[in-house]
Structure formats: C-alpha cells, structure tokens
Amino acid sequence: MRLVSQVVITAQIDATILALEKLRQRETIVEIVSPGIAEKISQGKEEGPAPSYVHRIPTEKETFSVSDAKIVIEKAYMASEEITVIILAAKTFSPLVQNKLLKVIEEPPKNKAFILITESKSTILDTIKSRLPISVLSEVKEVKVLELDLISLSLASVYAFTQEHKRTDAKMMKILTEEIVKEAIQSEAYDLDEKTLTLFSNTFMALDMGSPPQFVLNTLLLKLLARKKR
C-alpha cells in the first residue's frame, strides 16, 4: 500500500488504517471514520492515542451522511503546503455520499489525496472506480459457494434459497449477498438502474443495523427478479 489516492477494499478496516499510518513520512493524515471503526483503531494501538500528525474525526453515525461529506470537502479545501491524506473509512458508502464527493475526488485541491476504505467493491459507484485505482487486500475468509442460478432466477428459486438460509447469521449473510451482487452484475442478465445499485448498498447497511438476515436476502432477490431482462 501507499499513501496515494485510491479505494481500498478490505474486511480489516481498522488494521488497514493503522498500516497506512505507519507509511507516513511527512504527510498530515486526516481520518474521517465511523465510531465503531474509530473504537477498534484505538483498541489496536498499543502506544495509546493517535500521533500528532493524525487527526481522527468520528462520524455521528456508523454510516456516512451528507454532513460528513461536507466535512471531507471542507478539509480538502483547507490551504496547506503540506501533503494531506484524507482517509474515509466505513463499512459502506451510500451512492448519495459518493456523488457528493465526486467533484473533489475528480479535481482534488493541491497537495490533497483521498483514500476510501470499505468492505465491498460492489458498493462503490462506477464513477468513483473510474477516477481512483482499486486495491483489494487479499484476506482469508470463509465463502460459501453460491448455489443459486441467477441466470434462471424465479419466484420458486427465490423462495427455496431464502428458506435454505433462514438461519444464516448477519455476518455470513453479508458474504452471501456480496456474492449475489457480484454475480448479478457480472451476468449482465439484469437492468441495474441507480435505484437497484442503491439497494445493494442499503443491503449491507440493513444487516449492520440489525435487520433480519432472511428478510434482507428475500428483498434483494425479489428486487433482482423484478429487474431481470426479459
């Protein structure tokens, strides 16, 4: 990794931020992170509080809001001759927040770099992907083989699949839904409009906020079925 503008995909967000901090030479680092991630970073730092060159700003909620995006933009336009690396970290970023940040990412002010860190590549908008390189950190995790034919998706297969996973917990459901989203996009069998892509982001947020995993899975599959090309 390097302290340059990029999107980093990782399940270990807190550990990745700590690793980026250690790469610092003369840069100032501004971290705008969700409260849960901020807490994990503090727990993972044996030497105590953040060093003086790191300015950590927890967001009010676990998900980035438009007001958080405005703080990012304010930090970006603060005049400074020093290189400032602005790290944004959350489990997911909504399309609304990404669109709010698009202009400053596309035309960054002098001496500013942006690093977005999140868990799923599928929730990053194509407009962001086209402007920032993607780094996917390889991590060992248990992934269940997706036993669902998305090309031939039907009401019957949706019902059978959700019944099969009615006891799947939120952690494994996130992995499962990520595989579904990835395969649905790659299959090109669906008309994926902006509302559907927003649903993909909301799926991960709903699981983080405690929504029943089976309900989230069923909602995702039914929406995909409605967008299936005829």
59 shares a domain with 173: no
Where are the alpha helices (H) located in the chain, listed in sequence order? 13-22, 35-44, 66-76, 95-106, 126-129, 155-164, 170-187, 194-208, 213-226
31 and 124 fall within a common domain: yes
Same domain for 164 and 108? no
* Residues contacting residue 209 through CB under 8 Å, at least 6 positions apart: 62
Is the same domain home to 96 and 207? no
Collapsing DSSP states into helix, strand and coil, what is residue 212? coil
* Residue 118 shares a structural domain with residue 163: no
**CA 154 to chain centroid:** 29
Please check whether residues 16 and 106 belong to one and the same domain.
yes
List average pLDDT for each run of 10 residues in the chain, which is 230 residues long.
91 91 91 91 63 87 90 90 92 91 93 93 89 80 65 92 88 85 85 80 83 92 90
Residue indicated by tokens 């990745």: 16
Residue 130 within a domain: yes
Give the C-alpha distances (Å, rounded to integers) separating 34 from 51, 88, 92: 19, 9, 10
In this structure, the answer to whether residues 203 and 170 fall within a common structural domain is yes
Long-range contacts of 106-111 (CB under 8 A, 24+ apart): 106/131, 108/5, 108/76, 109/76, 109/77, 111/80, 111/81, 111/82, 111/83, 111/84
- Asked if residue 125 and residue 72 are part of one domain, the reply reads yes
* 111, 221: one domain: no
**Final residue in a domain of this structure, among 107, 136, 165:** 136
Residues 40 and 124 in one domain: yes
For residues 98 and 170, state if they share a domain. no
Q: What is the CATH number of the domain that holds 91?
A: 3.40.50.11570
Q: How far apart are CA 101 and CA 103, in angstroms?
A: 6
Count of domains for the chain: 2
Determine the pLDDT at residue 50: 62
Full domain range(s) for residue 200? 155-226
Ramachandran class of 149: left when φ > 0, alpha when ψ lies in -120 to 50, beta otherwise: beta
Please check whether residues 48 and 117 belong to one and the same domain: yes
Please say whether the beta carbons of 200 and 98 come within 8 A: no
Residue pLDDT, tens place only, 92-115: 899 999 999 999 999 999 999 999
21 SS3 class: helix
Read off the pTM.
Answer: 0.62
Tell me whether residue 122 is in a domain. yes
